[in-house]
Structure 1
Amino acid sequence: MTRIRLEDIAHARSGDKGDGSNVGIIAYTEAGYRFLLQELTVARVKDHFSSICLGSVERFEVPNLKALNFILHDSLGGGGSESVKTDAQGKTHGQALLRMELDLPADVPLTGLNP
């Protein structure tokens, strides 16, 4: 196994959705997308954001874009205008998720996963 960060095989886009945030993870390659389908689960994302995501996490697959889209419910303390948090913005959640570490199995080559 090789320990990697999610940012090694994907990039992200994220933003506010009311009191939650929307995080899109886009794999650089088809091999990376197949790996993420198995490894980037709702449970793993919920655990990664356990200190800020008080609600549920939903995952949507977007195969034509090699992407996974996550909705983190109740993660912004009521939203940008209602929250007492210093920066209740979902735009930072994509970068935060890219810092997640994953174990890449030996049979999935790291070569060819990056752009």
Structure 2
Amino acid sequence: MSRLVYDLAHSRSGDKGNTSNLAVIAYNDEAWKILKKHLTADRVMKAYAHLIQGPVMRYEIESLKALNFVLENALAGGVTRSLRQDPHGKTLSSIVLSIELPQED
């Protein structure tokens, strides 16, 4: 059995050159524990593998109950070079919300 990140958190994304920044902010303490345990950089890389080259780095912000993912080589060259419909990568945050995580016992 699994649950979606969508059930545990909200997300925002931004860009800097060819790098995308992805914040995942837990709704509560229980969700934070689950996200810290199961939402790994590897799991995020797999979810975005069709769009980015990587690597993906994960940073924990305990005081905000948030994870910050830095997705390198994620924007097809960045806003001034990319031919994508979303060169800033603003819609990338929706993908992380669809990641399935194991259900906690």
SS of structure 1 residue aligned to 2:60 = strand
In structure 1, the partner of 2:6 is 7
Normalised to the residue count of structure 2, the TM-score between the two structures is 0.94
Amino acid at match of 1:67: A
In structure 2, the partner of 1:68 is 67
In structure 2, the partner of 1:78 is 77
CA RMSD of aligned residues (A): 1.1
Normalised to the residue count of structure 1, the TM-score between the two structures is 0.86
Deviation at 1:55, TM superposition (A): 2.0
- Contact kept, 8 Å, 2:34 with 2:104, in 1: the verdict is no
Identical pairs, percent: 39
Runs (5+) with no aligned partner, structure 1: 107-115
Amino acid at match of 1:70: F
Q: Tell me the alpha carbon deviations over residues 1-31 of structure 1, each in whole angstroms, 9 at most, x when there is no partner.
A: x421101010011111210110000001111
- Contact kept, 8 Å, 1:20 with 1:90, in 2: the verdict is no
Q: Tell me the alpha carbon deviations over residues 35-66 of structure 1, each in whole angstroms, 9 at most, x when there is no partner.
A: 11110001000001001110200111000000
SS of structure 1 residue aligned to 2:94 = helix
Runs (5+) with no aligned partner, structure 2: none
SS of structure 1 residue aligned to 2:42 = helix
Q: Tell me the alpha carbon deviations over residues 54-93 of structure 1, each in whole angstroms, 9 at most, x when there is no partner.
A: 0200111000000000010001001111112232222111
Give the distance between the partners of 2:83 and 2:66, measured in 1 at CA.
32
Deviates more, 1:28-37 or 1:62-71: 28-37
